[in-house]
């Protein structure tokens, strides 16, 4: 009896014998197929939580502006901290639903979170940082210290 090793698409090894003509899968090939298959029930909504929101940062002569796209939330959903020149914006959302009928109970829950951290330059006036949430955009204004603001050009007279 001659034994051959076949390498299927998923990379696992299965044994087949050359004198068998049937396509009966071996136990190991069945296990490989089971775990390497795409299961629609799991793959469609498995990672439906929030990923890291996109951020725009711009600088003007007087301040830095941070805008974060996070639609569908409330102001109370956000936690904004300033810790040792580190600005930390985070969110944690939990959702639970339970439906009870005569002969069954259906319970669903979800969890999502994100955390973005930014190192602030020394030029930021930490006591004057302002945050606002409107139309799905979290906006932060980080004013610069007076000495860090750009001064307009001036002429110097030669004596």
Write the CATH number for 135: 2.60.40.790
Please compute Rg for the chain using Cα positions. 29
- Would 66 be classed as within a structural domain? yes
**pLDDT(15) > 90:** no
Return the pLDDT at 137: 94
Query: Residue 39 class from Cβ within 10 Å (0-12 exposed, 13-18 middle, 19+ buried)?
Result: exposed
- Would 50 be classed as within a structural domain? no
Give the rounded percent of residues in the chain with a pLDDT score beyond 90: 35
Domain span at residue 25 reads 3-37
State the total domains in the chain: 2
Q: pLDDT digit string (tens) for 79-131?
A: 999 999 999 999 988 878 888 887 777 778 787 788 999 999 999 999 999 99
Residues 31, 64: one domain?
no
Dihedral over Cα of 91, 55, 140, 72: its sign: negative
Return the pLDDT at 125: 93
Residues 62, 32: one domain?
no
- Would 74 be classed as within a structural domain? yes
- Would 47 be classed as within a structural domain? no
């Amino acid at each position: 009896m001659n034994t051959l090793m076949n390498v299927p698409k998923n990379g696992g090894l299965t044994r087949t014998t050359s004198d068998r003509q049937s396509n009966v899968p071996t136990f190991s090939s069945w296990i490989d197929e089971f775990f390497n298959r795409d299961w629609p029930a799991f793959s469609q909504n498995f990672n439906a939580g929030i990923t890291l929101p996109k951020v725009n940062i711009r600088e003007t002569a007087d301040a830095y502006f941070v805008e974060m796209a996070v639609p569908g939330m409330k102001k109370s959903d956000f936690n904004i901290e300033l810790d040792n020149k580190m600005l930390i914006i985070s969110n944690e959302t939990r959702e639970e639903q339970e439906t009870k009928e005569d002969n069954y109970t259906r319970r669903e829950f979800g969890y999502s979170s994100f955390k973005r951290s930014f190192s602030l330059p020394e030029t930021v006036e930490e006591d004057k940082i302002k945050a606002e949430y409107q139309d799905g955009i979290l906006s932060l204004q980080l004013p610069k210290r007076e000495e860090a603001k750009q001064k307009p050009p001036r002429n110097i007279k030669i004596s």
